[in-house]
């Protein structure tokens, strides 16, 4: 037969058949030996001497071993000493927050154990051990959080585009958060395939089902994916939950749109880069700027001087109230307040190094503009005359108009009042820069969610609203309204100076009480008596937690 030629698979010769039969008999004899008596075993003729010795040893060894073994000779094997577990729940959660991998955590724990004089062999610091401890810690914390008494009121979501580590592509993640006052809970971080409104609502609905939450409002960015009237995430979620919710859009997002519109008008950017060239140049030249040489807005005498002098005390009082709080939510909040004080001729004379200047950072544009204006005399070579004029306009708008609005965005009871105040401040600013005011007003008028017929009723629980205005609001609840449900207000008045809360209240505003479950019985009383009414107090407490 040739070397590469193969035999047929079904070919069976006489030698192959004999070898198979001999192997089966030999195998059967080996495994059946313990059940048989030695004299009964039939030894095939093909078995050699080595196999015979093996058969004999099976019987002789059993008898000799049984004679030698006794209870006194038996002893229990030593137990393995349990290693010390150093990765507790607090440490595990800290490692997760810092984004430390299991391998890095094991190296850190090993190094720390050596520094403390412990033997590494006695401590469970292997990567797999650390990983198991972190997983079990997450499970325990998740169960503990579910058992904490928590009555969520608002569901928040916001898509984030991140880089995929596998192929460096961009993927869309959707963090879903529940909140009630200062209490928040991350439910899920869903991976979106297409990012449509229906897909977003499906992810939110599934997360809410696992928590059995009874939410009454939604907080989101005002993109078409969320606010679409037919297939938007908000509409789809309400259909799945089979109930209406308050459309409490993110006020920080709305404020950023207002600031962005003003900035783009004063400093139009033609580049699609995430960085802003003018701000980058200022950041690069920070080390060359003399921090002792700066100027406030009071040093310039132009058309804005009267406006600054008029609103100076009002804004200073507001800023001092904000700074009197023990702590701001973020460091850049405090920095903007301090820069605003210096702009108005007061405040500390210390300046922080400019931070990130990309377009996705909150308050970044406001902080940079005010800081650049304070050091404007040292930037004459970087900026043109037109840019310096626009810098003055933008900085004045930020300090006098934007700052008071921004720092009230976290107060739900002040939402509707703040929106009207911003509209009136923009109207007043028209006398100094009509084009800027028109652009900002057009942008903001498309986001009057908190002046809708439903959400405007939250101002009934605001103690800073005049009693006379509350009486008008109650009276307007009787106005017949056969129109459809409107999720945001439409600005129709041209004279914004006389704009009031009662202008947005109609018969459909009563839906606010149906959605929130707040009792309406206190509405039959005069507003001067509400402070002592239990239903009013409970409703006010609920509205304060709508964040």
From CA 221, how far away is CA 159, in angstroms rounded? 9
Q: Among 379, 375, 360, 536, which Cα is nearest to 460's? A: 536
What's residue 394's pLDDT?
95
Contacts of 438 (CB under 8 A, 6+ apart): 430
Token pair recorded at residue 204: 């939110």
| Dist CA 532 CA 528 (whole Å) | 9
Which of 396, 399, 221, 252 shows the shortest CA–CA distance to 329? 252
HEC string for 115-129: HCCCCHHHECCCHHH
Q: Supply the pLDDT for residue 61.
A: 46
pLDDT one digit per residue (tens) for the chain, 547 residues: 455 555 555 667 888 888 888 888 877 766 655 555 545 555 555 556 666 666 566 555 444 444 455 555 556 666 665 556 667 788 888 888 888 888 888 888 778 777 777 666 666 667 888 888 888 888 888 777 767 666 778 999 998 888 877 777 788 899 999 888 878 888 888 888 888 999 999 999 998 887 766 889 999 999 899 998 888 999 999 999 999 999 999 999 999 999 999 999 999 877 777 778 888 889 999 999 998 889 888 888 888 888 999 999 999 999 999 998 878 888 889 999 999 999 999 877 788 888 887 666 778 899 999 999 999 999 888 888 999 999 999 999 999 999 999 999 989 999 999 999 999 999 999 999 999 999 999 999 999 999 999 999 999 999 999 999 999 999 998 877 766 778 888 887 667 888 999 999 988 899 999 999 999 999 999 999 999 999 999 999 999 988 7
Reported as a single tens digit per residue, the pLDDT across 364-390 is 899 999 999 999 999 888 888 999 999
Please report the DSSP string for 463-509 in residue order.
TTS-HHHHHHHHHHTTS---SPP-SS-----S-GGG--GGGG--GGG
pLDDT of residue 148: 67
Angle at 301 between CA 295 and CA 305, to 5 degrees: 95
Taking CB atoms within 8 Å and a gap of at least 24, the contacts of 337-341 are 337/403, 337/407, 339/367, 339/370, 339/371, 339/374, 340/315, 340/370, 340/398, 340/399, 340/403, 341/316
pLDDT value of residue 140: 84
**Which H or E run includes 154?**
strand 154-157
Q: Rounded to the nearest 10 degrees, how much is the dihedral formed by the CA atoms of 56, 61, 67, 68?
A: 150
> Among all chains, which residue has been given the structure tokens 């093909």?
46
Residue 419's nearest CA partner among 304, 504, 479, 361 is: 504
Phi/psi of residue 171, each to 5°? -125, 155
Q: How do beta strands 160-163 and 154-157 pair?
A: unpaired
Where helices occur in 398-460 by DSSP H, the ranges are: 403-406, 415-429, 434-445
Q: Can you name the residues that pair with 180 across neighbouring β-strands?
A: 183
Residue 62's pLDDT is: 47
Question: Does the predicted TM-score (pTM) go above 0.85?
Answer: no
pLDDT above 70: percentage of residues in the chain: 82
Pair 218, 237: CB distance under 8 Å:
yes
Confidence (pLDDT) at 160: 83
Domains and CATH numbers, the chain: 89-147 (no CATH), 154-247 (3.30.420.10), 251-410 (no CATH), 446-547 (no CATH)
Give the per-residue pLDDT at 203: 93
Report the DSSP beta bridge partners of residue 170.
163
Cα R_g (the chain), whole angstroms? 38
Going by their DSSP bridges, the two strands 154-157 and 170-180 should be labelled as antiparallel
Q: What is the pLDDT of residue 63?
A: 47
Give the C-alpha separation, 208 to 213, whole Å: 6
What's the Cα-to-Cα distance from 153 to each of 4, 45, 185, 501, 547, rounded to whole Å? 78, 88, 11, 24, 8
SS (H, E, C) 155-202: EEECCEEEECCCCCCEEEEEEEEEEECCEEEEEEEEEECCCCHHHHHH
Q: How far is CA 86 from CA 80, 135, 176, 514, in A?
A: 18, 14, 32, 52
């Amino acid at each position: 037969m040739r070397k590469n030629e193969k035999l047929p698979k079904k070919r069976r010769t006489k030698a192959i058949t004999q070898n198979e039969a001999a192997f089966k008999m030999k195998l059967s004899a080996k495994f059946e030996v313990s059940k048989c008596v030695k004299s009964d075993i039939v030894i095939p003729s093909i078995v050699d001497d080595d196999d015979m010795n093996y058969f004999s040893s099976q019987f002789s060894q059993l008898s000799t071993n049984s004679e030698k073994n006794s209870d006194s000779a038996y002893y229990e094997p030593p137990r393995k000493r349990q290693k010390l577990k150093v990765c507790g729940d607090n440490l595990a959660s800290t490692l997760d927050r810092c984004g430390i991998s299991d391998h890095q955590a094991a190296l850190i724990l090993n190094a720390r154990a050596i520094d403390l004089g412990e033997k590494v062999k006695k401590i469970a610091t292997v990567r797999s051990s650390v990983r198991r401890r972190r997983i079990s810690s997450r499970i325990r914390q998740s169960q503990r959080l579910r058992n904490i008494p928590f009555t969520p009121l608002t569901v928040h979501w916001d898509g984030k585009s991140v880089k995929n580590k596998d192929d460096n592509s961009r993927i869309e993640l959707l963090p879903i958060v529940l909140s009630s006052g200062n209490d928040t809970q991350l439910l899920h971080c869903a991976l979106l395939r297409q990012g449509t409104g229906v897909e977003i609502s499906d992810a939110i609905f599934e997360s809410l089902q696992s928590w059995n939450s009874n939410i009454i409002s939604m907080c989101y960015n005002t993109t078409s994916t969320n606010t679409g009237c037919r297939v938007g995430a908000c509409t789809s979620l309400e259909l799945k939950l089979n109930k209406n919710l308050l459309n409490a859009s993110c006020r920080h997002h709305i404020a950023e749109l207002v600031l962005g519109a003003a900035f783009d008008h004063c400093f139009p950017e033609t580049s699609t880069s995430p960085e802003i060239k003018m701000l980058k140049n200022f950041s690069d030249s920070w080390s060359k700027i003399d921090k002792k040489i700066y100027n406030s807005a009071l040093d310039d005498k132009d058309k804005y001087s009267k406006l600054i002098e008029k609103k100076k005390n009002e804004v200073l009082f507001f800023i001092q109230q904000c700074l009197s709080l023990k702590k701001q939510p973020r460091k850049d909040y405090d920095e903007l307040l301090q820069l605003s004080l210096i702009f108005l001729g007061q405040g500390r004379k210390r300046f922080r190094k400019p931070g990130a200047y990309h377009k996705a950072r909150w308050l970044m544009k406001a902080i940079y503009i005010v800081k650049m204006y304070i050091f404007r005399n040292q930037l004459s070579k970087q900026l043109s005359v037109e840019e310096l004029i626009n810098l003055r306009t933008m900085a004045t708008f930020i300090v006098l108009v934007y700052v008071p609005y921004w720092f009230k965005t976290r107060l739900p009871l002040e939402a509707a009042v703040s929106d009207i105040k911003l509209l009136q401040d923009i109207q007043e600013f028209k006398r100094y820069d009509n084009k800027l005011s028109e652009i900002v007003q057009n942008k903001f008028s498309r986001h009057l969610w908190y002046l809708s017929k439903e959400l405007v009723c939250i101002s009934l629980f605001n103690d800073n609203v005049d009693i006379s205005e509350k009486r008008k609001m109650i009276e307007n609840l009787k106005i017949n309204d056969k129109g459809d449900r409107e999720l945001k207000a439409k600005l129709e008045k041209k004279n914004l100076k006389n704009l009031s809360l009662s202008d947005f209240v109609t018969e459909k505003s009563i839906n606010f009480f149906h959605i929130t479950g707040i009792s309406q019985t206190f509405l039959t009383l005069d507003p001067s008596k509400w402070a002592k009414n239990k239903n009013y107090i409970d409703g006010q407490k609920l509205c304060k937690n709508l964040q």
